[in-house]
Amino acid sequence: LERTFIAIKPDGVQRGLISEIISRFERKGYKLVAVKLVVPTKEFAMQHYDDLKGRPFFNGLCDFLSSGPVLAMVWEGQGVIKYGRKLIGATAPQNSEPGTIRGDLAISVGRNIIHGSDGPETAVAEIALWFKPEELLSYSKVTDKWLYE
């Protein structure tokens, strides 16, 4: 099954939104297969956001991501990469629909509380950047058969 990298950024952790955000992915039916709380170094943050290098907000973004604990996660499920982005909502919270995580819980683009991989290739790369292979679990749940036909 497909896997994606999801991270609750320092603002989401500080605002006490960990359980709220995990709950939304969990209730949808996705399976948590890896999780850890880490303070990334600035160098690590720069690697994570490497594709945005050169943008005017890049430095501030990397300072911010490395400013405190981040909850790094891998979620698994059919279509989780694309639909996970739908649950998260548009990058700028003023454009995020109500009902999405950013739409319901955030106001500004530089404090949009959550990250999600934007495609299959970035999902693979980000999971490999943030987690060692042995940190990724494979397990079954009794609900699996009630989620998939």
Angstrom distance (rounded) from CA 40 to CA 118: 20
State the burial class of residue 99 (Cβ atoms within 10 Å of its Cβ: 0-12, 13-18, 19+).
exposed
Tell which one of 18, 35, 109, 136 touches ligand GTP (CB under 6 A): 109
Q: Is 8 helix (H, G, I), strand (E, B) or coil?
A: strand
Closer Cβ to Mg ion, 16 or 54, answer by number: 54
User: Quick check: 91 binds ligand GTP (CB under 6 A)?
Assistant: yes
Q: Distance between CA 94 and CA 36 in Å, rounded?
A: 29
Site for Mg ion in 112-131 (CB under 5 A): 118
Is 110 a binding residue for ligand GTP by CB under 6 A? The answer is yes
Provide the binding-site residues for ligand GTP, judged by CB under 6 A.
52, 57, 61, 91, 109-110, 112, 115-116, 118
